[in-house]
């Protein structure tokens, strides 16, 4: 029994006439009569009464047709669902990200992706670079936003490209002596209690701070350790010390703080987008397309990565 047998039976029941049903189906009447007869033999019961007034379902036919209509509806729905999945309109995307990516570019990317793909289930995980890198390699994430590219065993199987650049700035409370300055020097920072990211979570950031302050800096050694940029800003607002973090911290609308440039200017690792090079999931491709739309300056590089791993 095939789907066409179900369609033939439903069409015959609706038109109550072999000729009219055949016309609706776009076939000749004799093949339709044969197919219905074959169906009745397979079912083992007469499904239609042939009378002078027309062709009408029997009791067995009514029972068969009820399920046949549901089966055809399911087949149609399955076809629609398959098409939507192939276009990346349904499914799941697991995204790991560092907190500072929520300042830029994630808000615009997630907002647009949610509007364009409302039926995709987003699983969002705030993670330090070290954790999201290992999770991506292990297949626990589909895509990750990290500071610097993932490193370690398995990272060679990932496609990575920078989507944002940053440098170190300082944040202080409005009553701090540095609050009125446009910039602060490394020498000034060495004389202050500092607030920084955890070295085990963001080693590349701490490496940049060591370059700025010196590897043997007592200020860095005794710094308060914060989990993310929001904590750095909050502690600075509370007068705990001078917070050091990425320049995208300026996007946080927090009263009671001032931001200062740091001299010499010290670059931080790029914000890097990474995904499994051989992952051809339609949902991932749809997300990358949203990245391409919202971050047009990285579109060409993203296309190159995709061509390289195709």
| Least confident segment among 41-45, 80-84, 94-98, 174-178 | 80-84
The residue with tokens 């239609």 is: 48
Question: How high is the pLDDT of residue 41?
Answer: 95
Note whether 242 and 183 are within 8 A (CB): no
Question: How high is the pLDDT of residue 301?
Answer: 76
Question: How high is the pLDDT of residue 307?
Answer: 66
Name the burial class of residue 253, with classes exposed (0-12), middle (13-18) and buried (19+) by CB atoms within 10 angstroms of its CB: exposed
Q: How far apart are CA 30 and CA 266, in angstroms?
A: 83
Question: How high is the pLDDT of residue 99?
Answer: 83
> CB-based contacts of 208: which residues, under 8 Å, 6+ apart?
168, 266, 267, 268, 269
Across the chain, mean pLDDT equals 89
Question: How high is the pLDDT of residue 198?
Answer: 77
- Whether residue 264 has a cis bond before it, omega within 30° of 0: yes
Question: How high is the pLDDT of residue 108?
Answer: 92
Question: How high is the pLDDT of residue 310?
Answer: 56
pTM of the predicted protein model:
0.74
Task: Evaluate the CA torsion angle 162, 164, 168, 173 in order and state its sign.
Answer: negative
Six-digit token string for 200 = 């085990």
Residue range 101-151, pLDDT digits in tens: 888 889 999 999 999 999 999 999 998 888 898 999 999 999 999 988 888
What is the SS3 assignment for 228-293?
CHHHHHHHHHCCCCEEEEEHHHHHCCCCCEEEEEEECCCEEEEEEEEEECCCCCHHHHHHHHHHHH
Residue range 151-199, pLDDT digits in tens: 888 888 898 898 888 899 999 999 999 999 999 999 999 999 999 987 6
| H or E, element range at 295 | none
All structural domains of the chain: 3-87 (1.10.10.10), 91-164+270-308 (3.40.190.10), 166-268 (3.40.190.10)
Residue range 191-203, pLDDT digits in tens: 999 999 876 667 7
Six-digit token string for 94 = 């697991």
- Split at pLDDT 50, 70, 90, the class of 205 is confident
Average pLDDT (289-305) is 80
State the Cα torsion 295-301-304-310 to the nearest 10°.
Answer: -50
**Which residue in 168, 169, 167, 149 sits closest to 158, CA to CA?**
149
| H or E, element range at 165 | strand 158-173
Q: How far apart are CA 43 and CA 56, in angstroms?
A: 17
The DSSP line for 61-125 is: HHHHHHHHHHHHHHHHHHHHHHHHHHTTSSEEEEEEE-GGGGTTTHHHHHHHHHHH-TTEEEEEE
Residue range 242-253, pLDDT digits in tens: 999 888 888 877
């Amino acid at each position: 029994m095939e789907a066409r047998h179900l369609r033939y039976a439903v069409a015959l029941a609706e038109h109550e006439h072999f000729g009219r049903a055949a016309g609706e189906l776009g076939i000749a009447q004799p093949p339709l009569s044969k197919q219905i007869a074959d169906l009745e033999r397979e079912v083992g019961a007469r499904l239609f009464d042939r009378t002078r007034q027309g062709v009408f379902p029997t009791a067995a036919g009514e029972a068969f047709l009820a399920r046949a209509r549901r089966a055809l509806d399911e087949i149609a729905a399955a076809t629609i669902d398959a098409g939507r999945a192939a276009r990346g309109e349904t499914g799941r995307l697991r995204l790991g990200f560092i907190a500072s990516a929520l300042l830029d570019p994630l808000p615009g990317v997630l907002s647009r992706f949610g509007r364009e793909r409302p039926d995709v289930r987003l699983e969002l995980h705030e993670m330090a670079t070290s954790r999201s890198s290992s999770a991506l390699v292990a297949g626990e994430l589909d895509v990750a936003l990290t500071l610097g590219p993932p490193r370690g065993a398995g990272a060679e199987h990932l496609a990575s490209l920078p989507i944002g650049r940053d440098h170190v700035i300082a944040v202080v409370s409005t009553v701090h002596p540095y609050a009125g300055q446009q910039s602060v020097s490394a020498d000034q920072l060495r004389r202050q209690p500092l607030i920084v990211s955890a070295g085990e979570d963001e080693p590349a950031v701490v490496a940049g701070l060591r370059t700025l302050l010196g590897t043997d800096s007592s200020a860095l050694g005794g710094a308060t350790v914060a989990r993310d940029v929001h904590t750095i800003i909050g502690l600075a607002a509370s007068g705990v010390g001078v917070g050091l973090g990425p320049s995208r911290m300026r996007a946080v609308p927090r009263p009671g703080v001032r931001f200062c440039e740091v001299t010499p200017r010290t670059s931080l690792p790029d914000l890097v987008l990474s995904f499994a090079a051989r992952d051809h999931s339609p949902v991932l491709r749809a997300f990358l397309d949203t990245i391409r739309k919202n971050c047009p300056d990285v579109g060409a590089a993203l296309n190159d990565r995709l061509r390289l791993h195709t």
